[in-house]
Every structure is written in C-alpha cells, then in structure tokens.
Structure 1
Amino acid sequence: MKRKDAAAPDPTAIGDVSSPPFARLPDPASLFSARSLRLRQLAEASDLAPYLNFVAALAAVQHDIQAELPFAERPDAGAVLRAREFEMPPLHRHGMEGGETINVIFDRLFAAANAIEKPAPAADALARVIAADRQARLAMADTVLSGSLPADAIAEHIFIWAALQVHFARLASLLDEKKLTPVADGVCPSCGGRPVSSMVVGWPGSHGARFCSCSLCCTLWHYVRVKCVLCGSTKGISYREIEDHGGIVKAETCDECHGWTKIFYQTREPAAEPIADDVASLSLDLLMREGPYHRGGFAPLLAGF
C-alpha cells in the first residue's frame, strides 16, 4: 500500500464555488435508505464487504423503524432564539431522561436489528443492549454523546449511536437551516456534534464548496477549504492519499493541532456519502496510523479497527 503526499494547498480547483448555503439539514425519510444503498454498492468491490453489508443492513433498519414513530417535536422557538443569542446549537444533546420518543426508538431499532445478519460478537452486544434497562441505555447514550466509545463495549455503543442518529436527525430536520449560525470549529451548528468527515460537494449552486458532516444528526455545514476542521488553523495544512484511489478521499492534516480528518470529493464521485464512504475507506485510516497525526472528529463505525 502506497501513499501520495500533497503539500498545502489542496490541489483541487476551488474557483468554481458559487454561493453555498451555510447549512443543509438532513432528510430522515431518505438519509438512511440512501446510505444503505451506497454501502451495498461499495461492498461489491471491497475486502470489507461483510462489514459494509452489516452496516448497510443497520442503516436500512434506521430507515424502516421511522414508519410508525411518533412525530418529532419541533424545538421550542424561545430556546432556539436563546441558543442563537449565546452562539450555542439549538438542539440539546443531553437531558433525554424525560422523553419517551428516544425509548421507543431504542426498542424498535434494537428489535429490528436483532433480525439482521451479523457476526456473533455483534449479536452478543445487541443482546446486552436489549436486556439493559432504561437508565443503562441512557448512560450509554451519554457516553456516545461525549464523543467517545469505551474500548470494551464498542459494539453495544454503536447500536445506541444508531438509535441516537435517528432521533437527532429527525429533530434537526425540523430546524430552520437559514437561521443556523456557526458555533465553533469542529462543532455542528444544529446539535453540537463532532464531524465524521467533510465533503467537497457537486450540488448546483454549491459546486466545489466544502461541507462538514455531523456524526450525530447528519447536518451538513459549510466550512472553507484549506482550513483545519478541528482547530480552525490555516497553517500547516496538507493532504495525504492512497495512490490509485482516484483522489476521491484524502486525509487533511494539520501541523497546529496534529489532527487529521477525511475529506471526500463528491465532485469526483457523485455517489459519495460521508458515513458510508468513511467506513469503506478504512485503508486510509490504517495508512495514517503510521504518521504523527491523530484522527479527529468522531467515527464510531471505525472505532474497533
């Protein structure tokens, strides 16, 4: 396996960006089904096919369980205004103890996931999550929301994360994207989550713009290129990639914070999807382990590798 290094700036042309919006909210009705389809496509030509197909089945479950869920409650208008005034994300990441919807999502997702094909360790982990009481599940949810997964219980927390994604994507979809404003570098303007990756998009009106993708609610937010997603530095930014991979994914490294994040080029691969393609590009993670940088953001589906 070879790597290809590229000193800053990113050599991809950026002069064709028009007027991108600041944020693009998730559409839960299509988000997870599209991700599942992309994962299936990627699995066809990947050594990771068994894992990609498992994650595809889990994404299909995330889509299917929404059919009979209670309507998501629109965030309180006053709370949204206060969050904007204090430069905070409008969706609260904690304090779910009094809500019933998240428990319904837990029950339905875990029951549906029980029927999909999975390796034995994942099946055992799901059985433990199903047997856990409400407080134990909420405690695991708090761990996921903290942006870290315990090394001895990664699989259990991935199922919790999958349920939280459904919950927060539904809430985020009810926000007014025109009223979202930047919160901080590496922070989702909807829910405060950390990015899983960023993507140079090919959308009409935004072609060539870079958007970060939230690992929790799946909001996409505009973030200028050749700037560290993690710390905001514009110094010491460079790019690494694996040769013969078509330049579809690169590692953006920062010499200020010594972190790196993935950047995908939808302009080169229109079907690219932030989470699906993140899992499928595990080889880049393995390559980057050889260097001095640590991966930033939050990528739970690769936590066990």
Structure 2
Amino acid sequence: MSSIRIVPQGEVAKTAGVIPPLLFANLKSLYSRRAERLCQLAQQHPLGDYLNFAATVVEAQQNAQHDLPLSIDLTEVLKASTAAGHSPLSVKYFPRSKHWQTLLSAIIAELEPTAPGHVLPVLEALSKAGSQELEDLATALLCGEIGKVGSDKAPFLWAALSVYWAQMATQIPGKAKAEYGEERHNCPVCDSPPVASVVHIGTETGLRYLHCSLCESEWHMVRVKCSNCEQTGKLDYWSLDTEQAAIKAESCGDCGSYLKILYQDKDRFVEPVADDLASLVLDAKMEGENFARSGLNPFLFPSGE
C-alpha cells in the first residue's frame, strides 16, 4: 500500500500534518504555463521543432479540457478504493468512460490543420480507429506495453488520457493522509510513474514533490532519498552545468535508476514535463553511466519491443 492515501475527508482531520502530502493540479494554468515554457525552451534548442510541436499538443489539451469539462461523482469510487487498498483512480482498476475518446477527437481535430507531414498519417489513423480499438490501445499504453501501441501514436493517446485523469483528480472528494510505508514512487491518485521531481518555492518552499505523468498531481517525497527504491546510501547528483544548476539527475547506486530533480529556487519557471523533455542531453549522460530512467515523459515514449 502507498504511504500516501486519499481517504474521506472526515478520516484525515486529526492526522493531517504541516506538510501537504498531495497537491492537485490547477487546470486553469497548468497547460498554458507548460506550453509557454516549451516555446521558451525551444528557442535556439537543437530539438526546437519538437519542443514547439509539443507546445501545440499542450495547447490542444488546454482547449479540450476547457471546451469539454467533466463532472463526475467519485464518492463511491473513493470508498471502494479505500476499502480495497488501492489508488482511487488507479490505471489498473478504474473503469474508463468514453470521455477520454471525446477529448482525443478534439485534440486531433485541432492538431490536424497544422500538423507536420509525418505526423498527419498518425492523426488520421487514430481518428479513423474504432472505439474498441482505441480502448485496447489505451489499456496497452497505460500498462506500459508501448510495443502494442507504437511510439508514434502514444503521445496523442496519452495527451487525451492525461486530460481525462487530470479532470477527475481535481474532483476527488477526499483528503490525503501520509502514513509510514514504502511504494511512494508511483502516484497515490492514479498509480502512474512520475515525470520528474520538483523542489518548490512559495508555500511549500524547500519541499520536494514528484509530478505525475498522467493525472498531473504532485505528492511529497523527502529529499535525499531515492524516489524509486527509497534507499539513501548511494545517491549522486548530476548536472550539465554547475552545482547551482536548476535541473539535475538524482541517481541511485542501489537500484540503478535516476530521475530528474528541478529546483524552483534556481529557476522559478522550471516545469516538469517541459524541462525534462528539453534536457535530453542529461538523459544521454545518465545512460552512459549505466543508469535507467525511472520516470515517464508524455512526449518521450520508447519504441518498445
């Protein structure tokens, strides 16, 4: 069981600590901020074209979530998941509605008029796919079976699924409670892997949160502890610039993994998805040191087998 649980509001009043264990996304600004950051990072970047294209996908996500709002009562879902001991919106157990397919259609329709030539056939194939075929692709993608989906289709499917899960996450009727326990690597809301971790400024100054690759929630993880295996003895921090770099890779010699860590006090504009994507040179360095990535970027799916 995760060491952060979401429970009905009445159960958490006496146990809530001073550190918020879970932060839900602000969908009014999340996508616009991410798109702006991607465009900023694209300037004079070797992958500038792809960063700009990712920004157009994020803008389509913003418009889809605005034009196609979701209202859902998750009270019974929360009660059932609490009783079963799993995340309330777990990708393994939560029964998807067709709303995500409606979001996908809207995202594709916005992207098609300006999509690059090599992308257009992918969008057309997705737009012509039947409902059950899309469900099968979504199930495979959420299970990490990229080979059954294709790295070309995955970003667009994930874009729609992510908006769907983010819309639901912001409507969960419970509160988060921190407990002793392991398994804090995956999101306590949907059980998906993080993109990266962020050391905050502002209300949560100095606190580290992992940012979910699917539902966009953030959950607290103490610093100087591997976000993958929770060991502390063999951590190292890598950067491309100096010790004051805003983006570093935290590697663990115990499990052989790494995850990016972003410091808002070094650059208050850092954004998990955008800055992780724009720092692929650091990923190459970590792979050269024989560390495996433990996170997932929604614009960077492996080709699969």
1:180 Cα offset (Å):
5.1
Residues 68-122 of structure 1 show CA distances to partners (whole Å, capped at 9, x for unaligned) of 31433131x233133234442111425677623122112111111212343x332
For the residue of structure 1 that corresponds to 2:59, the secondary structure is helix
Residues 74, 171 of structure 1: 8 Å contact kept: no
Give the alignment partner of residue 290 of structure 2, picking from 281, 289, 292: 292
Partner of 2:221: 223
Give the Cα separation in 2 of the matches to 1:137 and 1:259: 32
In structure 2, give the amino acid aligned to 1:35: R
Residues 141, 149 of structure 2: 8 Å contact kept: no
Higher deviation after alignment, 57-66 or 129-138: 129-138
Give the alignment partner of residue 137 of structure 1, picking from 128, 134, 139: 134
In structure 2, give the amino acid aligned to 1:239: Y
Give the Cα separation in 2 of the matches to 1:96 and 1:107: 22
The verdict on how the C-alpha distance between 1:136 and 1:117 changes in structure 2, with shifts beyond 3 A counting, is same
Higher deviation after alignment, 98-107 or 285-294: 98-107
State the TM-score, normalizing by the size of structure 2.
Answer: 0.86
In structure 1, give the amino acid aligned to 2:232: T
Please, which runs of 5 or more residues in structure 1 have no aligned partner? 1-17
1:48 Cα offset (Å):
1.5
1:184 Cα offset (Å):
2.2
For the residue of structure 1 that corresponds to 2:81, the secondary structure is helix
Give the Cα separation in 1 of the matches to 2:276 and 2:178: 26
1:147 Cα offset (Å):
3.1
Partner of 1:192: 191
1:256 Cα offset (Å):
1.3
For the residue of structure 2 that corresponds to 1:110, the secondary structure is helix
Residues 24-64 of structure 1 show CA distances to partners (whole Å, capped at 9, x for unaligned) of 10122221111111111111242221011000010000001
1:185 Cα offset (Å):
2.3
Partner of 2:167: 170
In structure 1, give the amino acid aligned to 2:143: S
Please, which runs of 5 or more residues in structure 2 have no aligned partner? 1-16
Give the Cα separation in 2 of the matches to 1:223 and 1:177: 20
| Pairing of 1:93-242 with structure 2 (within 5 A) | 93-94=91-92, 99-118=97-116, 120-150=117-147, 153-176=150-173, 178-179=175-176, 181=178, 184-204=183-203, 206-242=204-240
For the residue of structure 2 that corresponds to 1:289, the secondary structure is helix
State the TM-score, normalizing by the size of structure 1.
Answer: 0.86
In structure 1, give the amino acid aligned to 2:64: I
Give the Cα separation in 2 of the matches to 1:285 and 1:98: 33
In structure 1, give the amino acid aligned to 2:59: A
